[in-house]
Amino acid sequence: MKNLRKQNRKRPRPSENIDCRRDAGKKTKITHYDEGELDCFRRRALYSSVVLIVFFAIIITRLWYLQIQHGEEYRLLAKNNRVRNLQITAPRGNILDRKGRDIVTNRPSFNVVWVREDNKVDDELIKKMARLLDIDISELLTRMRKMAGTPGHIPIRLADDIEWSKVAYIENNRMNLPGIKIEVLPRRVYHYGNLASHVIGYLGEISRKELDKADPEIYQGGDQVGKMGLERLREADLRGEKGQHYMEVNARGFEQRNLKGFEPMPGNDIQLTIDVDLQRAAEEMMMEADNSGAVVAIEVNSGRLLTLTSSPVLELDKFIGGISYKNWNAMLANPHHPLINKVVQGQYPPASTYKIVTALAGLAEGVIQPETMIYCPGFYKFGNRTYRCWKHSGHGAVDLQRALSESCDVYFYQVGQRLGVDRLAGYARRVGLGKKTGVEMEHEKKGLIPTADWKKQRYNKVWQEGETLSVAIGQGFDLVTPLQLALMTATVANGGTLYKPSLIETVRNPDGKIIEQFTPTVLDRLKGQDKNLQLVKSALIEAVNGKHGTGRRARLKNITVAGKTGTAQVVRLKQYKHLKEEDIPYKYRDHAWFTCFAPAEKPEIAVSVIVEHGLHGGSTAAPIAKAVLEQYFGDRLDDPEELTTVVLPGRLLITEN
Amino acid sequence: MLRFDRRLIHNFDWVMVVVLLLVSAMSLASLFSSTWAGGPDPSPIFYKQLYFFLLGFALILMTVCIDYNELEKLAYLAYGGICILLLYTNFFVSTVAGTQRWINLGFFNLQPSEPAKLIMVLVLASCYAYNDVGTSGFRIRDLIKPGILTAVPFILILIQPDLGTALMLGIIFVSMTLFAKLRLGTMAILASAGAGGAFIGWKYLLKDYQRRRIETFLHPESDPMNHGYQIKQSKIAVGSGEGFGKGFMEGTQGHLNFLPERHTDFAFAVWCEELGFAGSLFFLSCYFFMLLWGMYIALTARDKFGVMLAFGLVMLIFWQAVINLFMIMGFLPVVGIPLPLFSYGGSSLMTTLLAIGLLMNIRMRRFQKPEVR
């Protein structure tokens, strides 16, 4: 400023300007010249410069404030403006059978989505889409309403899994369908239909409740999560990791370009111990006869479950994309209870199959000897009550072998009476009854093996000895699940080792690395019972193979099957006594059991079958078990050569007399 | 008529030329970036502005040839012309975007309110320079003539409606009147009258959308998607430039359309975003140096009219710049005032370049002897 002023003063006087005269000749009119007044103006111009500088300073300060002090915040805001991320659903892990065959995998499915940012709700568009997709406008509106309040760049799904022709149409008419996009999502494929549906379970959209509990990093509204079975229990393994798609959008939300994101990571593959062939054989047998019930096959020397059938099976396709109320209510009302996984949730009186436990306990406790003979007149009087044998004419004098193979009730009434309820229960528990097995299935039931203490606690009543008689033949309070019974059979078959049942062979990550491998887990071991177990086994062989055996329908060519039938009373009502079995109302008919293992000489597999209201174990349940065994042994049935390598002939058949 | 004086070339204002070229280059670069739509070629808007610059420079060369005192004689003639043009605009021009501002001249749309500002400066400078009131300052009655002279175009522009430009006329009038010196009493009366006028104007004269803009500015959250949105996006654009910017042509706020009016009113926000604090500081330093140089021209002018005129021209550019920059940085509501020389728009650019041409004119003739009347 000082310089300016100096320059001012040094400003040449007008009179010194030589050329003024030439100008003066022109007509140019110059304002009144007054040096004093001009100076006054100049001072004001100087002050004005100060004003200019002040404003300059204010502006620069503001720039500093915005760009330097708060620059990072604004940069973040700018980034939030332009960068949107979309999650890419990871393909769920596959589920395979023990031989590596695919049971459940994924395929790409095409969904129609609407990105709201692109345009507001447009009636024309909705009408067009409803016509195109062939769904109700009201449904489209419901789907839109459901997503109200979520961030705008998250697409709203209008239709799931549309046909290829519709995909093509939408892609070709993109310009006329603003905001409508095709989204590719992995979708479950069930290669064997409803096979093992209770084991595998189904997927459904994550519920509000689940979403509230879930980690927001992992789950978002609209995600598919396991709702039942392994899909639910192994959700963490199967779900994989979502990918991220980052994109740059403009002010109207249109994608401008892709930014670097990351690919989704598929879920882990689960290989089951279940064998598709066996499972299918069991399911077909059950479904053909319209049976309600369960089939369990287990590897006796490891606890691997080969078949887990609960009939009727769930119709998985009804669950895809959310089950309708109508279907759900129909399932609830179905007398066959398809929603119940009968393998672990069905509790039934074990009936005669329980005699295996009673026989073993009797031998182990020494209350009977193999040669002990008991006379069966067809009934047994105890106290003031008469307990009947199923064979009203009576079995006559029977030893253990005959009692078990022909399922004489009177014999076991007396064994039970000699043992007492608590001793009997002890053995039942050691072969896996009356407690959860710990298998990876939901809502497993404990079953019930009563003791005197239990009754005291439960009903505050003293145990009646008469009740022991019922319990000894598997009636009364006794309840088991089909899985427990299979476990019991396997334990008897393998010489007394109780394995934890398992249905998962391996879990592999997408690179094929095994992250979980099945190893047999021993839960309990009956020691010093080899001889007694052999006695029970030979009686069970007789039950299937003997002339009077109850389980004759499970016999196989070249393979010795050992088994036991059971007929579980549902109700004991006089009014049905005189009726023919077929005339008894379905829900009052007896349950039919059959449990077996094979080959008897060197057991590999145990199979338990229950057919609800199937009347007779021997006729209804045994053929189903046979079908599973046939499937299991396959060629070995025709090739006895193969048997010689496994069979130990003679040794087990010593008690045949 | 144009007898060319060789010493005029000798006294040519090279400083202003250099600064002007610097600012113009930056302005064009920014316009190139903000209107670039992909592909190898700049947008037609860029070319249009480039031609206006070239035309403007030619106009400057013509302007400096005529002594500004000669031009003063033309001022009232131009004033009459512009008033007629404004009248014509108001009554015979179809409405564009709710306002009547542009006259279609075939090759470009003239916005007469832009040159009106320049002509107002000329007229007021002449008015105050020849009204000799001594050292005591102007009285109210001395202000009647300039007041009416300002009021006519002011009202004509206000009913277009173009609040921003009308406001500029008002500001120029106030600045120049204060510069010309008022009596203290006069100032007091005018201040209170101004306050009352502002109140009445707010109550009865402002259009709804104008009132909303001001309200939005005071409560930005009440209207997040409109004017509040514009200011917000502008602040984000400026702020996100940080120290050194996102790089030329790399701005996201502008290129992805988050920033409204990115080559007109909010053009400087694009510059801030892409070149950061450093680039903005450099540009503003050049720009304010240009204004200060203009003030220095006023300081060294040979006569009273020259001082008044130079001052008015600087104020014309200065206030527009301040209002525009304040708007971009979130200090003021959205008013449609461009940043002179930087915002796209032919009328504004020509007016500004003419103003600079006049400044150079005054500068070149600072040594010529004044003639005593």
Subunit contact A59:B284, Cβ cutoff 8 A: yes
Cβ-nearest to B242 among A12, A42, A75: A75
Helices B227-239 and B304-328 cross at an angle (nearest 10°) of 90
In this predicted structure, the answer to whether residue B113 has a pLDDT above a threshold of 50 is yes
In the structure, what pLDDT confidence band is assigned to residue B342 with cuts at 50, 70 and 90?
very high
Q: What is the pLDDT of residues A156-172, one digit of tens each?
A: 888 888 888 888 888 88
Which positions 271-290 of B are in contact with A (Cβ < 8 Å)? 272-273, 276-277, 280-281, 284, 288
DSSP 3-state of A510? coil
Q: Which chain A residues are within 8 Å of B243, Cβ to Cβ?
A: 67-68, 71
In percent, how much of chain A has pLDDT > 70?
86
How far is A111 from chain B, CA to nearest CA, in Å?
A: 29
Q: How far is CA A641 from CA A79, A631, A635, B196, in A?
A: 75, 18, 11, 117
In this predicted structure, the answer to whether residue B295 has a pLDDT above a threshold of 50 is yes
Lowest-confidence segment of A198-207, A293-302, A477-486, A638-647 by average pLDDT: A638-647
DSSP 3-state of A82? helix
Measured between CA atoms, the residue of chain A closest to residue B282 is A60
Choose, out of B66, B126, B240, the residue to mutate when testing the contact with A (most A CBs < 10 Å): B240
Cβ-nearest to A67 among B5, B277, B296: B277
Q: List the catalytic residue out of A197, A302, A352, A502.
A: A352
In this predicted structure, the answer to whether residue B23 has a pLDDT above a threshold of 90 is yes
In the structure, what pLDDT confidence band is assigned to residue A21 with cuts at 50, 70 and 90?
very low
Task: Provide CATH 3.90.1310.10 ranges for chain A.
Answer: 85-272
The amino acid at A165: S
In this predicted structure, the answer to whether residue A242 has a pLDDT above a threshold of 60 is yes
Which pLDDT belongs to residue B359? 93
- Of residues A57 and A81, the one with the higher pLDDT is A57
Which pLDDT belongs to residue A308? 92
Which pLDDT belongs to residue A647? 39
Tell me if A303 sits within 8 A of A295, measured CB to CB: no
Subunit contact A34:B292, Cβ cutoff 8 A: no
Lowest-confidence segment of B133-137, B146-150, B224-228, B323-327 by average pLDDT: B224-228
d(Cα B160, Cα B169) in Å, to the nearest integer? 14
Torsion of CA A454, A455, A457, A458, to 10 degrees: 110
- Of residues A581 and A204, the one with the higher pLDDT is A204
In this predicted structure, the answer to whether residue B336 has a pLDDT above a threshold of 50 is yes
d(Cα B125, Cα B145) in Å, to the nearest integer? 12
Tell me if A448 sits within 8 A of A347, measured CB to CB: yes
In this predicted structure, the answer to whether residue B290 has a pLDDT above a threshold of 90 is yes
- Of residues A251 and B237, the one with the higher pLDDT is B237
Which pLDDT belongs to residue A651? 35
Which pLDDT belongs to residue A251? 67
Residue B257 in contact with partner chain A when CB distance is under 8 A = yes
Which pLDDT belongs to residue A25? 42
Lowest-confidence segment of A185-194, A323-332, B100-109 by average pLDDT: B100-109
Measured between CA atoms, the residue of chain A closest to residue B128 is A31
In percent, how much of chain A has pLDDT > 90?
19
Partners of residue A591 on adjacent β-strands? A568
How far is B307 from chain A, CA to nearest CA, in Å?
A: 7
In this predicted structure, the answer to whether residue B316 has a pLDDT above a threshold of 90 is yes
Chain mean pLDDT for chain B: 83
d(Cα A403, Cα A133) in Å, to the nearest integer? 68
In this predicted structure, the answer to whether residue B9 has a pLDDT above a threshold of 70 is yes
| pLDDT, average across residues B303-316 | 91
In the structure, what pLDDT confidence band is assigned to residue B232 with cuts at 50, 70 and 90?
confident
Which pLDDT belongs to residue B10? 76
| pLDDT, average across residues B91-112 | 73
In the structure, what pLDDT confidence band is assigned to residue A272 with cuts at 50, 70 and 90?
very high
Residue B11 in contact with partner chain A when CB distance is under 8 A = no
Which pLDDT belongs to residue A121? 66
Please tell me chain A's helix, strand, coil percentages from 3-state DSSP, rounded to the nearest 5. 40, 20, 40
- Of residues A426 and A10, the one with the higher pLDDT is A426
- The dotted CATH code for A276-332+340-653 is 3.40.710.10
In the structure, what pLDDT confidence band is assigned to residue A254 with cuts at 50, 70 and 90?
low
Subunit contact B240:A4, Cβ cutoff 8 A: no
In percent, how much of chain B has pLDDT > 70?
86
Active-site residue A352, yes or no?
A: yes
Which pLDDT belongs to residue A13? 43
Q: What is the pLDDT of residues A311-347, one digit of tens each?
A: 888 887 777 666 778 888 888 888 888 888 899 998 9
Chain mean pLDDT for chain A: 82
| pLDDT, average across residues A507-531 | 88
Tell me if A492 sits within 8 A of A363, measured CB to CB: no
**Element housing A247 (H / E):** strand A243-249
Residue A49 in contact with partner chain B when CB distance is under 8 A = yes
Which pLDDT belongs to residue A654? 33
- Of residues A624 and A571, the one with the higher pLDDT is A624
- Of residues A523 and B131, the one with the higher pLDDT is A523
Partners of residue A259 on adjacent β-strands? A246
Partners of residue A205 on adjacent β-strands? A224
In this predicted structure, the answer to whether residue A641 has a pLDDT above a threshold of 60 is no
Which positions 270-289 of A are in contact with B (Cβ < 8 Å)? none
Instruction: Give the pair of three-digit tokens for residue A102.
Output: 């695919």
In this predicted structure, the answer to whether residue B223 has a pLDDT above a threshold of 70 is no
Q: Which chain A residues are within 8 Å of B254, Cβ to Cβ?
A: none
Subunit contact A63:B281, Cβ cutoff 8 A: yes
Which value does ipTM take for this structure?
Answer: 0.89
- Of residues A362 and A178, the one with the higher pLDDT is A362
Which pLDDT belongs to residue A613? 86
Tell me if A168 sits within 8 A of A246, measured CB to CB: no
Which pLDDT belongs to residue A87? 77
DSSP result, B65-82: HS-HHHHHHHHHHHHHHH
Give the start-end residues of each E strand in A38-96. 83-88, 95-96
Subunit contact A251:B243, Cβ cutoff 8 A: no
Which pLDDT belongs to residue A6? 43
* Contacts of A38 by beta carbon, 8 Å cutoff, 6+ apart: B303, B304, B307
DSSP 3-state of A314? coil
In this predicted structure, the answer to whether residue B134 has a pLDDT above a threshold of 80 is no
Tell me if B60 sits within 8 A of B358, measured CB to CB: no
Backbone angles phi, psi at A378, to 5 degrees: 105, -10
Partners of residue A188 on adjacent β-strands? A106
Residue A32 CB neighbours (<10 A): 16
CB pairs under 8 A between A and B: 200
- Of residues A587 and A489, the one with the higher pLDDT is A489
Lowest-confidence segment of A16-30, B71-85, B131-145, B259-273 by average pLDDT: A16-30
d(Cα A623, Cα A472) in Å, to the nearest integer? 26
Place of tokens 């499937």: A631
Residue B133 in contact with partner chain A when CB distance is under 8 A = no
d(Cα A187, Cα A89) in Å, to the nearest integer? 10
Which positions 287-346 of B are in contact with A (Cβ < 8 Å)? 288, 291-292, 295-296, 298-300, 302-308, 310-311, 314-315, 318, 322, 325-326, 329-331
- The sign of the CA dihedral B231, B234, B236, B242 is negative
| pLDDT, average across residues B220-226 | 52
DSSP 3-state of B18? helix
Which pLDDT belongs to residue A323? 73
Subunit contact A74:B69, Cβ cutoff 8 A: no
In this predicted structure, the answer to whether residue A643 has a pLDDT above a threshold of 70 is no
Q: Which chain B residues are within 8 Å of A82, Cβ to Cβ?
A: 252-253, 256, 258
Subunit contact B253:A250, Cβ cutoff 8 A: no
In the structure, what pLDDT confidence band is assigned to residue A253 with cuts at 50, 70 and 90?
low
Helices B346-364 and B113-130 cross at an angle (nearest 10°) of 30
- How many degrees, rounded to 5, is the angle at CA B367 between CA B366 and CA B368? 100
The domain made up of A85-272 has a fold known as Penicillin-binding protein 2a (Domain 2) (3.90.1310)
| pLDDT, average across residues B250-256 | 80
Backbone angles phi, psi at B288, to 5 degrees: -75, -30
In the structure, what pLDDT confidence band is assigned to residue B268 with cuts at 50, 70 and 90?
very high
Lowest-confidence segment of A359-368, A512-521, B251-260, B266-275 by average pLDDT: B251-260
